[in-house]
Amino acid sequence: MDGKIALKERLAKPGPLLVGGAHNGMTGKLVEEAGFDAIWASGFEISAAHCVPDANILTMAEQLSAASWMVKAADIPVIADCDNGYGNAINVIHMVKSYESEGIAAVCIEDNVFPKRCSFYAGVKRELAPVEEHAGKVKAVLDNRKSDDFLVIARTEALIAGWGMEEALTRGRAYADAGADFVLVHSKSDKPDEVLGFAQQWDRDTPLVCVPTIYKTTTAQTLYDGGYQIIIYANHGLRSGIKAQREALATIVKEQHCSSVDHLVVPKTDVYELIGVPQMKADEKAFMPSGGANVGAIILAAGASPELGELTADRPKAMLDVKGKPVLGHQVEALNEAGIKDISVVVGYKKEAVDLPNLKTYAADESQGEVASLMEASSELDGRTLVLYGDILFDQEMVERLLQSEGDVVLVVDRSNLKGRENRDLVQTLNGEVGSGQRFLKGTRMDTLGRIGQNLDEANGEWIGMMMLSTKGATTLRQVVEELGAASGSVHEADSLATAALTDLLQALVDKGLTVNTIDTYKGWMEIDTFEDYQRAWAQLR
């Protein structure tokens, strides 16, 4: 919400409005987190944070920059301490334009001359501007603000300068009569008597503001009951910070190991929360191209599909039209959307029908097994690679999840339904429960493959025909194929490497002690094996 509106709305409610001092975005955020109603962009704090006195040494631009970081960091209104307006009424006009356009809700200007001295520095030159001059600055704010919701607090330092209660009242009245939205009367007495006395004699409607730094035992409620609507706790974040940092830093120098201050520091994750790292992660996901730029894909589309009869008389399954685009076209679209542009297709049966642009093709014999087909494109297994069957349709989100997955070989496993058709690539993972129809939430599980194949006695999922290989996983996979070739003989459920399916190779990886991981899905894909599948694809594809 607009800070100005928020401040006005809060002011309309009864009770003291509590304002906490800050000097940057983080301390503004902490003021908000603590439950204050508004942030005080304190000149005292901002100066101290730069390690210079609060004496108009920082420029307006530096003070404003700190205040605008608070606006960005927090949702509660920011009230900016603008000292004496950084000069005369002409400077004030520039100040108003600058602060209002940065989303500040209110400014406070005090009747110190330029350059000022902090109200609490003892033994320094302290002079007040003539009352007419300061009233003129108040009018300059009113005349130059764009919105009446941008409030001005006029502050008198008469009590601080020792000019007495009458002078304080005269000045307060002059500023109220000039149109100030609030009058702040500052006091360095250690008792609230001065400010309460001022309020008792206050004869204007303009509400009052105070800063109980020195009369520090007086509660906000007492001050509110005494006539003050806004109470500013001006510098306690900075001062407690210095104390805590001193202790932690000295402890490290003494003990010479970081764990000596474990009890004095917040966990790093606390910092991440405060600065919005979780939001950044979500924004990366929502607004940035996904991490597929350096990932290649190999699509296996070499086999013939006699089950589909006439439909595939002149084309492989991957080129079957589903709603105006071949299956392969849908796949390429999903991969491209995830940033994967380097796509290879292993073609065989009716390979001349595979005529989509921007694809590399590798030729295999349609009678070869899947592993042999994949090896036709083995030169592509030289980095992170997504391997998938050419006859599946899938939600693009699955590609995203595979891209985000960690592990050298990661399979997508459907946990939704194990009943039904023959010839499925069944899997049994080590931690999933055995059974069918088990419902798992998408994306919540990373499991480890135990067994995979078409003839498992027990299974708890079905491989959907997509796997992500890390660079290491791709290299290992090639090495294992070489080893299996050298050893000859059967490979899991296949008689030989030449006829082995990918499931046979995956089982061989597991048998060699390599870890194959799985991530779960609950539907979100379909395979085109039969005419009924093809009909379903037409019916279900959005």
Catalytic center residues: 54
The overall longest dimension of the chain from CA atoms, in Å, is: 106
Q: How far is the CB of 234 from ligand SPV (least distance, A)?
A: 4
Q: How far is the CB of 39 from ligand SPV (least distance, A)?
A: 11
Cβ atoms of 351 and 315 within 8 Å: the answer is no
What is the per-residue burial (b if ≥16 Cβ within 10 Å, else e) of 191-219? Answer: ebebbbbbbeebeeebbbbbbbbbbeebe
**Choice between 58 and 467, CB closer to ligand SPV:** 58
User: Which of ligand SPV, Mg ion, none binds 141 (CB below 5-8 Å, type-dependent)?
Assistant: none
Angle separating helix axes 25-34 and 268-275, nearest 10 degrees: 90
Q: How many CB atoms lie within 10 A of CB 309?
A: 9
> Of 358, 361, 328, 324, nearest to 346 (Cα)?
361
**Choice between 7 and 469, CB closer to ligand SPV:** 7
User: Which of Mg ion, ligand SPV, none binds 119 (CB below 5-8 Å, type-dependent)?
Assistant: ligand SPV
> Of 70, 31, 27, 30, nearest to 49 (Cα)?
27
- How far is it, in rounded angstroms, from Cα 404 to Cα 410? 11
- How far is it, in rounded angstroms, from Cα 186 to Cα 119? 8
Cβ atoms of 116 and 57 within 8 Å: the answer is no
For position 85 contacting Mg ion by CB under 5 A, the verdict is: no
Q: How far is the CB of 105 from ligand SPV (least distance, A)?
A: 16
**Choice between 81 and 527, CB closer to ligand SPV:** 81
User: Which of Mg ion, ligand SPV, none binds 78 (CB below 5-8 Å, type-dependent)?
Assistant: none
309-338 residues in contact with Mg ion (CB under 5 A) are: none
Residue nearest to Mg ion (CB): 43
Q: How far is the CB of 211 from ligand SPV (least distance, A)?
A: 5
Q: How far is the CB of 211 from Mg ion (least distance, A)?
A: 9
Q: Which residues bind ligand SPV (CB under 6 A)?
A: 21, 42-44, 54, 81, 118-119, 211, 213, 234-235
Binding Mg ion by CB under 5 A: which of 25, 43, 77, 461? 43
Q: How far is the CB of 120 from ligand SPV (least distance, A)?
A: 6
Q: Which long-range contacts (CB under 8 A, 24 or more apart) does 222-228 make?
A: 222/192, 223/16, 223/192, 223/195, 223/196, 224/15, 224/16, 226/192, 226/195, 226/196, 226/199, 226/200, 227/196, 227/199, 227/200, 227/202, 228/16, 228/195, 228/199
Sheet strands (E) in 11-105: 17-22, 38-41, 78-81
Q: What is the DSSP string of 268-293?
A: HHHHHHHHTHHHHHHHHHHHS--GGG
- Binding region for Mg ion (CB under 5 A) out of 78-86, 170-178, 450-458, 525-533: 78-86
User: Which of Mg ion, ligand SPV, none binds 407 (CB below 5-8 Å, type-dependent)?
Assistant: none
Q: How far is the CB of 232 from ligand SPV (least distance, A)?
A: 7
- Binding region for Mg ion (CB under 5 A) out of 42-50, 186-194, 255-263, 399-407: 42-50
**Choice between 81 and 408, CB closer to Mg ion:** 81
Binding Mg ion by CB under 5 A: which of 37, 81, 408, 527? 81
User: Which of ligand SPV, Mg ion, none binds 235 (CB below 5-8 Å, type-dependent)?
Assistant: ligand SPV
**Choice between 238 and 345, CB closer to ligand SPV:** 238
- How far is it, in rounded angstroms, from Cα 488 to Cα 483? 9
Cβ atoms of 463 and 415 within 8 Å: the answer is no
User: Which of ligand SPV, Mg ion, none binds 21 (CB below 5-8 Å, type-dependent)?
Assistant: ligand SPV
User: Which of ligand SPV, Mg ion, none binds 301 (CB below 5-8 Å, type-dependent)?
Assistant: none
**Choice between 236 and 442, CB closer to ligand SPV:** 236
> For binding to Mg ion (CB under 5 A), which residues are involved?
43, 81
